[in-house]
């Protein structure tokens, strides 16, 4: 049940980002709000899953990731430049606490899963912050995040979450491709009407 909750809402996040990149105006804004909100709904399930699997760095990053999600929602609702400056720091501090807990728990940095966790965290923090600022390069960092998490979930025996991560890569790459088309269209033809 926990895996289903985690997988469904994080997949919806990617689906809604694809919808946002295929839309303009109010519809695009609605899809962005839904994308960030679905991430927030799935976050508690991932947090619990990571704790149960002793992925403490990811649990810390997941807890702090709520700040990046709130930042994304605020940006989608109010517009760029109106978000609180302290929000991104919450995610960074939480990831740092998770890293320290993991090093303490495992008595050092000495496992493949810890290396994968760091890669997932890096992809998540960079990707979420760039996407919250409406910068398309964030999608590429999400590919790194999803790919690393897919390997981690496969190692830990979770085929459902492995499949969800692979599926997410497809949606993320599609959103990246569509955002490039949208940017090119704006450069050539100017902004489309909402």
What gap in Å lies between CA 6 and CA 48, rounded to an integer? 9
Q: Which two tokens stand for residue 109?
A: 């940095």
What gap in Å lies between CA 44 and CA 1, rounded to an integer? 13
Could you tell me if residue 13 is inside a domain?
A: yes
Work out the average pLDDT over 11-16.
91
Could you tell me if residue 185 is inside a domain?
A: yes
Return the pLDDT at 116: 94
Q: Where are the alpha helices (DSSP H) in 133-158?
A: 137-155
Nearest residue to 54 via CA among 1, 104, 119, 121: 104
Phi, psi dihedrals of residue 55, rounded to the nearest 5°: -90, 70
Could you tell me if residue 110 is inside a domain?
A: yes
CB atoms within 10 A of CB 52: 11
Work out the average pLDDT over 64-74.
75
* 193 has pLDDT over 60: no
What gap in Å lies between CA 34 and CA 77, rounded to an integer? 11
* Structural domain for 138, as ranges: 2-189
Cα–chain center distance at 51: 18
What is the per-residue pLDDT across 153-189, written as a single tens digit (0 to 9) for each? Answer: 999 999 999 999 999 999 999 999 998 988 776 666 6
Return the pLDDT at 47: 92
What gap in Å lies between CA 15 and CA 7, rounded to an integer? 12
Return the pLDDT at 111: 85
* 194 has pLDDT over 60: no
Work out the average pLDDT over 63-79.
75
| Residue of 24 and 88 predicted with greater confidence | 24
Could you tell me if residue 194 is inside a domain?
A: no
Could you tell me if residue 41 is inside a domain?
A: yes
What is the per-residue pLDDT across 141-151, written as a single tens digit (0 to 9) for each? Answer: 999 999 999 99
Could you tell me if residue 115 is inside a domain?
A: yes
Could you tell me if residue 25 is inside a domain?
A: yes
For helices 87-105 and 56-78, give the axis angle rounded to 10 degrees.
170
Could you tell me if residue 109 is inside a domain?
A: yes
What is the per-residue pLDDT across 79-136, written as a single tens digit (0 to 9) for each? Answer: 766 666 676 677 677 767 777 877 887 788 888 998 999 899 889 878 877 887 778 9
Structural domains counted in the chain:
1
Q: Which two tokens stand for residue 162?
A: 């492995």
Highest mean pLDDT among 4-18, 60-74, 94-108: 4-18
Q: Which two tokens stand for residue 49?
A: 């899953």
């Amino acid at each position: 049940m926990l895996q289903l909750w985690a997988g469904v809402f994080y997949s919806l996040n990617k689906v809604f980002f694809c919808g946002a990149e295929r839309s303009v105006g109010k519809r695009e804004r609605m899809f962005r709000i839904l994308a960030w909100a679905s991430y927030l709904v799935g976050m508690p399930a991932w947090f619990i899953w990571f704790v149960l699997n002793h992925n403490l760095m990811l649990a810390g990053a997941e807890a702090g990731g709520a700040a990046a999600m709130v930042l994304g929602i605020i940006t989608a609702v109010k517009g760029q430049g109106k978000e609180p400056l302290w929000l991104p720091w919450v995610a960074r501090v939480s990831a740092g606490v998770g890293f320290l807990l993991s090093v303490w728990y495992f008595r050092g940095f000495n496992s493949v899963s810890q290396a994968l966790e760091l890669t997932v965290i890096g992809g998540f923090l960079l990707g979420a912050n760039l996407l919250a600022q409406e910068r398309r390069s964030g999608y590429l960092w999400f590919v790194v995040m999803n790919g690393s998490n897919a390997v981690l979930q496969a190692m830990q025996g979770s085929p459902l979450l492995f499949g969800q991560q692979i599926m997410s890569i497809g949606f993320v790459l599609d959103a990246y491709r569509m955002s490039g088309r949208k940017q090119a269209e704006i450069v050539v033809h100017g902004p489309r009407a909402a």
